[in-house]
Copies of this chain bind each other. A is one copy, B any other.
């Protein structure tokens, strides 16, 4: 099969189109013909420094699949050839098995039926980024109707889903982005769009919330974001981060705060829960650009810039 291989770890110019062996589905697994593959910041990190994270080169990256079941392995009864599916494949543990390729093998229990109302390009933008936002907001922070939520990096891949999920859960949403993405924040449903390059976030949030701060904060930006967020989070509030945090966390206990670290684990159930929101239009993927698989290097240049607006999706085959 055709694949865009990472022959060694390094820059986005290294991708090579190669003909590699098509994988076979083992017991409990399905073979999926990839129609579209999402790109994510983790792909760029692995491409640049995969060895330090346990990957061997050459490898096939790519953490989002939308496609069609081609073949099912022994024991798989809940999926059939022809089913349209979407999911995040296991990059680790199954060898060289990312989505930048014509076929992908996955454990059936992490594969979900694709929402019928979404194109494959749209569906491929959802599993990793949408799943991370859903996990952080709904499962870990348990956002409820009437609460206030701040999304750091609201125009990014994860943040753009987070705004929509928080709104769907009934929250009032503050979101941050740079100057060029303020309109995007509003279009995604943010009640208050904040320009972190121009505004004092603490002042803006405390002013708008009567000095209280927000119930919950979602950090998709990293660095000192968690530490800075303490000052505009309500007592007994929650902060979730998908990145680390360094520094003095002492003030967080004076306010009885809770901090959740979030790393997506694969499962079908979460995708099925998101499918409900996607079918109803309460969550819409923000697809910024669709490129052919061969231009994965260009997609990675975008990832490396760190200033994405929504997602870049690769078209691997015709549906």
Contact = CB atoms under 8 A, between A and B. Distances in A.
A140 B253 CA distance: 12
A244 interface: yes
How many identical chains are in the complex? 2
12 contacts: A140-B256, A244-B251, A244-B252, A246-B248, A253-B261, A254-B261, A254-B263, A256-B262, A256-B263, A257-B260, A257-B261, A259-B260
A249 interface: yes
Contact of A261 (B242, B252, B262): B252
Interface in A236-281: 241-263, 265
B250 A256 contact: no
Contacts of A249: 226, 244-246, 249, 259, 261
B258 A253 contact: no
Tier of interface size on chain A: 20 to 34
A217 to B, nearest CB: 14
Contacts of A256: 140, 260-263, 265
A263 B259 contact: no
Contact of A259 (B242, B251, B258): B258
A257 B262 CA distance: 7
Contact of A242 (B242, B244, B253): B253
Nearest to A219: B253
A250 B246 contact: yes
Contacts of A247: 246
B262 A253 contact: yes
Residue among A246, A248, A255, A258 with max Cβ neighbours from chain B (10 Å): A258
A244 to B, nearest CB: 3
Contacts of A226: 249
- 10 closest pairs, A vs B, by CB? A244-B250, A253-B261, A252-B261, A259-B259, A245-B249, A258-B260, A246-B248, A257-B261, A253-B263, A256-B263
